Each structure stands twice: as structure tokens, then as C-alpha cells.
Amino acid sequence: MTSALVVDAALVLLVLGLALWITAARAAYGAAVGFVAYGLLLTLVWVRLAAVDVAMTEAALGSGLTGLLLLGAAARLAPYEADEHRRRPGTVLRVLVGVLCAAIAAGLAAVVLLLPDPAPSQALAVAAHLPATGLGNPVTGVLMAYRAVDTLLESVVLVPALIGVWSLSTEMGWGGRPGFLTPCRSGSALPLLARVLPPFGILVGIHLVWAGADDPGGKFQGAAVLAAMWILVMVAGLREPPPVSDRLMRFLLVVGPLCFIGIGAAGIRLAGAFLAYPEAYAKPLILAIEAGLTISVTAVLGLLLAGPPVPEPQYQRQSRRRS
């Protein structure tokens, strides 16, 4: 008991210390690297709290993909960073921001500390009704059955996010290939890794989705692993990212949300409510939605990192310069 307490206390101190360090870091690149380590520590915290589903999401999306996005942003902002430091905001603004942040932290702490003991929970009701969904993992059950609208919205919101990234393209770049991931120099070790790792990574990704019905895992974690394999292949220069005008790719981007909305709308007739599943087919329908969403989330995550499209001549020039 006490040794577990020591580990937990050390984890909490590490998380708090690293959070302070990231906030105080001057360079964006260092802060982004710290953020990745922070995500991995948070993953351990979630494991200690027995929330393995959340831990895997944090490791794959919170730390891995968000970390990559931040690293890419830091690398792109580096030329302007010195300028930005010179024009630091005035004392009043900085104090105001600090006070507001402290107020949010204090508010959150108050909400958590003032919860009645035991905290209000629907966990027993979920556990009692889980067999009706045919699923074994209560987290998947909540996400796909009881909070299906939330899940639908968070899978749909990925598409506008990608449209936002694409909107950063110049007018000449529209219809071209995404230009953030320029291939590495040839002769580096990356192409070897990009040839050896994907078979294992794809297996692990599909396993995470499939196992998510009964064990920790699910479409977001699995899709993050699949997207990572795709990005690895693109960065290694083995495959180019598809042009944003590609019809098949656009279809794959929306097939998951369309499948979800379609099955949800069918629920109005068959089960009496939007996003309700007829009880006899609940599990196959949920698996079909998960499969469709996995494809779409993989495509969106990969293309988010691939960035806005650039004109074809610029894309070729970037590829040549690195090789």
C-alpha cells in the first residue's frame, strides 16, 4: 500500500513539475517536446487510476498525434519566434492571464473537492444494462450506446478540422498534395523502419479496434496507430500523400460519420429514436459503425499531419531538396 503511495506521489510531483517547466519554457520546440513527455506521464496516471481506455487514448492521441502536430507547428514558427519574444505582452495583460488561469484551476479544484461522497455515478445503471448492447467493455458501451450523440459529434468534428487545415492552402495549392511531410533524405534508416514496422502496426491497430468491444481499446486508439503507420510511410518517402482533390480519399474521410448517421437515422424507424439500436442487432451495428469510423479517423488524422496542399511544382521541389 505504502509503496503504491510512493509511486503515485512521485508521479503527481513529476506531472506538476513538468507542467510548470512546459509553461515556463521559452522555446516552443522545447515546450512541445516536454508536452509529449507530459502526455506519457499522464498515461501512467490514467493506468494507476485503472482507466486503461483513457490511458491508451492519451498515449496515442493526446501525447503522440497532438505532440507531432505541436512539433510541426513549433518547427514552422521557429523563424518568427525571436520577433515574438521581443514583442512580449505588457505586465497588465500577463497578470490578467495569470489570474484568469488561476481562477479556472481553482474552480476546477473546487468542483472536484466539493463533490458529495460517494460521487454521483451512473456506473451501476450502465453495468446493469450493458448486456443489451452485446458489448463487454463498458467504456465502448457508454460511447456507442448511451452517449452516442457525443461520439457522433466528436467523429464528425474531425472533418471540419481537416477542412480548416486545408483552408490554409494558397489558391495555387488547391487540389495539390499536402506539403508538410517532406520525405527524409534517402539513405537514412527511416525507409527500412517504414517497410518493417507497418505490418505489425496495422495488426496492432486492427486488434485495438476489434478488442475494443470487450476489452480496453477502440476506434480512436486503433485509428491513431493506423494513421501513425501511414505517416511513417509518407515521411520515409515510400508513398506520397494523396492530392486533396482525390475522390476516393474524400469518400473515405466521410464514410464513418455517414455510416453512423445512416444507422442512427434508421434507428428512428426501427427502434423509436435517433441513434437507438434495435436490440437484436445492437452489436453488429456498433461494430459496423466502429469499422467505418476507424477508416475515416485514420484518414483524417493522417491528413491533418500531412498539412495543407501545396502547388505541384513546390511539392516536387521540396521532395528533391530532401533527397
Partner 1 sequence: MRLALDLFTIVAVTLGAIFFLAGTVGLLRFPDTLTRLHALTKADNLGLGLVVLGLLPQATAPLGWIGLIAVWLLALLSGATVGQLLAEAVRPPEWDQTRTPDAPPVGHPNAPEASSHD
Interacting residues with partner 1 (CB under 8 A): 183-193, 196-197, 200, 237-238, 320, 323
List of E strands, the chain: 177-178, 309-310
Tally of residues, the chain:
323
Please tell me the distance from the alpha carbon of residue 192 to that of residue 185, in angstroms, as a whole number: 12
Q: Which CB atom, from 70 or from 238, has the smaller least distance to partner 1?
A: 238
Q: Considering the complex, what minimum distance in angstroms separates the CB of residue 7 from partner 1?
A: 14
CB contact at 8 A, 132 and 279: yes
Q: Considering the complex, what minimum distance in angstroms separates the CB of residue 195 from partner 1?
A: 11
Q: Which helix (H) or strand (E) holds 219?
A: helix 219-235
Which residues contact residue 77 at a Cβ distance below 8 angstroms, ignoring those fewer than 6 apart? 28, 84
254: burial class by Cβ within 10 Å (0-12, 13-18, 19+)?
A: middle
Q: Which CB atom, from 105 or from 192, has the smaller least distance to partner 1?
A: 192
List, in sequence order, every residue forming a beta bridge with 310; answer none if it has no partner: 177
150: burial class by Cβ within 10 Å (0-12, 13-18, 19+)?
A: exposed
List, in sequence order, every residue forming a beta bridge with 309; answer none if it has no partner: 178
Q: Which CB atom, from 170 or from 188, has the smaller least distance to partner 1?
A: 188
Q: Considering the complex, what minimum distance in angstroms separates the CB of residue 80 from partner 1?
A: 23
Q: Considering the complex, what minimum distance in angstroms separates the CB of residue 238 from partner 1?
A: 7
Other CB atoms within a 10 A radius of the CB of residue 106 amount to 10
Q: Which CB atom, from 210 or from 281, has the smaller least distance to partner 1?
A: 210
Q: Which CB atom, from 204 or from 254, has the smaller least distance to partner 1?
A: 204
Q: Which CB atom, from 204 or from 287, has the smaller least distance to partner 1?
A: 204
Q: Considering the complex, what minimum distance in angstroms separates the CB of residue 236 from partner 1?
A: 9
Q: Considering the complex, what minimum distance in angstroms separates the CB of residue 285 from partner 1?
A: 31
CB contact at 8 A, 257 and 155: yes
Q: Which CB atom, from 3 or from 91, has the smaller least distance to partner 1?
A: 3
CB contact at 8 A, 183 and 236: yes
Q: Considering the complex, what minimum distance in angstroms separates the CB of residue 257 from partner 1?
A: 33
